[in-house]
Amino acid sequence: MDTVISLLGNNFGILVVNTFHSNSISFVKKNLDKLVEIGKDKLLVVNGYPGDIGYFTDFIHKAILFYTLKNRAYLSTHSIANFIRKEISDCFRNSPFKISMLLIGFDVGMGPSLYFIDYTGVIQRTNFYVQGYASFFLFSFLDKKFKYNMKIEEALLIVIWCITILKKRFVFNQVNFMVKTIDLNGSKNIGLV
């Protein structure tokens, strides 16, 4: 029942994640932070089985940190996405993880970028993406409303519309959504919606 909404604008990206964790029909936790910060300007959201999420995100975070310390160079969002894709693809052949990820980052000179990586190692660069059951309701809406080079105010308005659509049409009421933006200055928490 996880929901992740992400879109890119003019020199920024927005990531919206629900903050609850459920087990079957009951809430386990209502204020869970599902975002993993990779450096100051990259965010990773992982959905799937909790054990796989914990193990894989720890591995990825530490491997990228080790590379950064060893080589004294930061990886671009594209490089991190392809590193994750290779690791997921290798694991899929041996002991697969049931996880899917969204990586959003900002690189100087390249601007914002958004990558979707699934459990088989398929990678897709995109301008907007929705994960979870919310994709049944929101992909067509985002396809109609998304514009290249949006301002932050327009993008936040689209996010509010998306959450309103979910609260009206989705049977399972999702209480809180965490909204974060990423730009040249790094990631910034907008708050809960």
Q: Three-state secondary structure along the chain?
A: CCCEEEEEECCEEEEEEECCEEECCEEEECCCCCEEECCCCEEEEEEECHHHHHHHHHHHHHHHHHHHHHHCCCCCHHHHHHHHHHHHHHHHHHCCCCEEEEEEEEECCCEEEEEEECCCCCEEEECEEEECCCHHHHHHHHHHHCCCCCCHHHHHHHHHHHHHHHHHHCCCCCCCEEEEEEECCEEEEEEEC
- The domain containing residue 105 runs over which residues? 4-192
Mean pLDDT confidence for 24-32: 67
Give the lowest-confidence range in 51-55, 61-65, 71-75: 51-55
pLDDT at 157: 95
What is the Cα–Cα distance from 56 to 59, expressed in whole angstroms?
5
Other CB atoms within 10 Å distance of the CB of residue 7:
26
> In angstroms, how far is the first alpha carbon of the chain from the final one?
17
Confidence of residue 21 (pLDDT cuts 50, 70, 90): low
Q: Measuring CA to CA, which residue among 131, 163, 113, 120 is closest to residue 34?
A: 131
**Helices 77-94 and 50-71, axial angle in degrees (round to 10):** 130
pLDDT at 31: 65
Higher pLDDT, 33 or 76: 76
Q: Residue 80 carries which side chain, given as an amino acid letter?
A: I
pLDDT at 170: 79
Mean pLDDT confidence for 43-62: 88
Give the lowest-confidence range in 13-22, 23-32, 89-98: 23-32
Higher pLDDT, 36 or 126: 126
Confidence of residue 154 (pLDDT cuts 50, 70, 90): very high
pLDDT at 93: 81
Task: Evaluate whether 57 touches 25 at the Cβ level (below 8 Å).
Answer: no
- Count of domains for the chain: 1
Give residue-wise pLDDT tens across range 87-133. Answer: 999 888 888 888 899 999 999 999 999 999 999 999 999 999 999 88
CATH of the domain at 86: 3.60.20.10
Indicate if the pLDDT at residue 39 is higher than 90: no
pLDDT at 28: 67
